[in-house]
Amino acid sequence: MMGASTKQGYEIAKKSRKIVRLLIEDKIKNFSKEERKIIERVVHSTADLDFAELIEIHPNFVNKSLEALNNNEDIFVDVKMVKVGINKYPGNILCYIDDKDVIKLAKKKQITRAAASVEHLVNTNFNGIVVIGNSPTALYKIIEFHKKNKLKVKSVIGVPVGFVSAEEAKEMLKDSGIPYLITRGPKGGTSVAVAAINSLINMRDKNEF
């Protein structure tokens, strides 16, 4: 549970998860069982009850995500903090932010490295899950390439954070047709992203829907 591998870690996670459930169960009763698990894990990871009211999930998000995870499809992430936070996934986790070509491309085009790493992704055979924990510009690029039919995506966890562009990028994702999980407004972040994808990986592992 929660990646805790020892008794002490397990006990803390178990008690915390119970508290979270009691604190937010009324707010999330209209979500499916799997969606509630994801939201509970996000609140557990952030100790921020607001997320119980800020998370929105597309009706096909859980199914499409689990389909990708069960096929060990690649997971693309915007930043390293998301990459290293993902637990126990046998597929590839792609993070191109430190790739030399990506750094060159970002400088040349004067775009963020996270956005440039999406341009790099388009040249691969990607057909997996996108997890954006930080960068609104990366999320814009995902949507742009999806609309141009240049990128296949099973689902997007789109929780970039910030007072500039993040909210707009998430609203645009909602209108894109891609199955999504978002956090409304400026809040979000790498911890939210990691909690959501790890929750899905956990469902896959245990067939624990």
Using CB under 8 A as the binding rule, whether residue 165 contacts a second copy is answered as yes
Q: Which of 201, 65, 192 is nearest to 127 (CA)?
A: 65
Cβ partners under 8 Å of residue 176, min gap 6: 143, 146, 147
The stretch near a second copy (CB under 8 A) out of 30-38, 60-68, 77-85, 196-204 is 77-85
Distances in whole angstroms, Cα of residue 34 to Cα of each of 73, 175, 204:
20, 23, 11
Q: Judge contact between 169 and 140, C-beta under 8 A.
A: yes
Binding mask 119-158 for a second copy (x = CB under 8 A): -----------------xx---------------------
Tokens of 131: 């997890």
Please state whether beta strands 93-94 and 75-77 pair in parallel, antiparallel, or not at all (unpaired). Answer: parallel
The reply to whether 44 belongs to the active site is yes
Instruction: Report, in Å, the least distance between residue 41 CB and a second copy.
Output: 12
Retrieve residue 87's tokens.
Answer: 């637990």
What's the rounded Cα separation, in Å, for the pair 132 and 47?
20
By CB under 8 A, is residue 44 in contact with a second copy? Answer: yes
| Catalytic residue chosen out of the listed positions 44, 58, 120, 146 | 44
Q: Does 100 participate in binding a second copy (rule CB under 8 A)?
A: no
Give the binding range for a second copy (CB under 8 A) out of 70-78, 100-108, 142-150, 173-181: 100-108
Residue 189 within binding range of a second copy, rule CB under 8 A: yes
- The residues annotated with a catalytic role in the active site are 44
| Residues making contact with a second copy (CB under 8 A) | 4-9, 12, 15-16, 19-20, 23, 44-48, 80-81, 83-85, 103, 106-107, 110-113, 115, 136-137, 161-166, 185-191, 194
